[in-house]
Structure formats: C-alpha cells, structure tokens
Amino acid sequence: MKDLTKRLLLAAYVIFIIASVALNFEPGKRLGENFLSFLVDMMKVLPFAFILIGLFEVWVKRETVEKHLGKESGFKGYIWAILLASTTVGGLYVAFPVAHALYNKGARLSVIFAYISASAVCRVPMTIFEASFLGVKFSLVRLVVSIPLVIISSALLGAYLEKKGYKMQQIDT
C-alpha cells in the first residue's frame, strides 16, 4: 500500500508540473525549475560522495574508527568528529551517509551526533563564505558559541539514547 501511495504522489507531482508548464501556471513552473536545479546540484555531489564513502568502508579499519571515535575516545572523539565535519563537502546530504558509515565502523552515537551537527554549522567553506560577508569577528563568535553547544547537546542526546539501549537500524545492501 505504501508503494502505491508513493507512486500516486509522484505521478500527481509530475502531472502537476506538466500541467503548470502547459497552462503557464507560474508557481508550478517555478516548482519544477527548483526541482530540476536541486536534482542537478545533487547529481554533481552525491555520486562522488558515495564513491568516497565506499572507499572509506573498504580502506579504513574498524579499529581505527573505534580508537578515535568509539567508546574509549573520550573528549577527543568530539574533536575528531568536528574536524572531520569541517571538511565535509555537500552538507547534510553527504553527512548522513558518512555518519552511517562511521556508526557501522564503531563510532559512538554521541560522536555521530557531534559529526552531523558540526557538518551543519562548522564547515570550512561555509565559514570562509560567511566571514567574507559578515566579518571574521562574527564567524569566530558563532564558532565559539556553536562548537560547545554541539558537543554538549551531542553528549546529552547520545548518553540518553545509549541509556535507553537505542541502536540504529541496519540497512541491507
């Protein structure tokens, strides 16, 4: 039933876009253009990101991830996660698959949350762009405030979920 619903929604979306173009309905045409723009942007980033994630899965040993991001990593795990996240290109589209790969390799749940959060707020390209428009002082203040909040919230959420026995679902590939 879910599959049929998804197909019907997709068909309705496509029919709406085609009808919008045919009837010159501007909001529908913009919706279609935005979708195509988003699709092209994703196709520029995601294939390469998935190749790199696949190489990570094969080349990086589980012991290495467990040592630096696992249960025994302590506070250093958060620092490693933030440093890794700061270099992530593609935003959260790439961060979530990387986070899943890290989790499968033995990274602690709270460190995964730190990685995802930091990839949303601490990326180097974004920070450089921000500093060029809003100033270096603003960017530094934002990072000085954001990074401790990322660590604290990740540690609290990770501890809570680990106490509850939460495990991420494994996806069959």
What is the tens place of the pLDDT at every residue in 151-165?
Answer: 999 999 999 998 998
d(CA 78, CA 140): 19
Residue 173 has a pLDDT of: 52
Q: What is the pLDDT of residue 172?
A: 57
Residue 137 CA to residue 91 CA, distance in Å, equals 23
Would residue 26 be called left, alpha or beta, if left means φ above 0 and alpha means ψ between -120 and 50 degrees? alpha
Contacts of 69 (CB under 8 A, 6+ apart): 77, 80, 81, 102, 106, 107, 108, 111
Average pLDDT of the residues in 53-75:
91
Checking if the pLDDT of 117 tops 80, the result is: yes
The mean pLDDT value for 94-118 works out to: 92
Q: What domain range is 23 assigned to?
A: 1-44
Instruction: Provide the domain count of the chain.
Output: 2
Lowest mean pLDDT among 23-37, 44-58, 99-113: 44-58
Report yes or no on 118 lying in a domain: yes
The answer to whether residue 52 sits within a structural domain is no
Q: Is 30 exposed, middle or buried (0-12, 13-18, 19+ CB in 10 A)?
A: exposed
Residue 169: pLDDT band (50, 70, 90) is: confident
> Whole-model pTM above 0.75?
yes
In this structure, the answer to whether residues 107 and 173 fall within a common structural domain is: yes
In a domain, 112, yes or no: yes
pLDDT band at 171 (very low <50, low <70, confident <90, very high): low
The residue-averaged pLDDT of 43-59 equals: 88
Identify whether 50 is part of a domain.
no
